[in-house]
A = this chain, B = another copy of it.
Amino acid sequence: MVDMARWGPMLETAGIRVTSQRLLVLEVLAAHRLPVSARRVHAELQDRGATTGLTTVYRALASMTEAGLVHAFTHMGEGVYRLCGSASHHHLVCRVCGMVAERQEDIVDGFRAEEVYGVCATCESAESGSRRCSTTTGATADPPEVTESR
Contact = CB atoms under 8 A, between A and B. Distances in A.
Q: How many copies does the complex hold?
A: 2
6 contacts: A68-B132, A74-B77, A92-B111, A92-B113, A111-B121, A116-B116
Interface string A133-150: 111100000000000010
B76 A75 contact: yes
Interface stretch (A17-25, A37-45, A47-55, A83-91): A83-91
Given A95-B114, A115-B135, 14 more contacts: A65-B136, A68-B132, A75-B136, A90-B118, A92-B108, A107-B116, A111-B116, A111-B119, A112-B118, A112-B119, A113-B118, A115-B116, A115-B117, A115-B118
Contacts of A92: 108, 111, 113
A15 interface: no
Contacts of A133: 68, 71, 84, 87-89
Interface of A: 65-66, 68, 71-77, 84, 87-90, 92, 94-95, 101, 103, 107-108, 110-121, 124, 131-136, 149
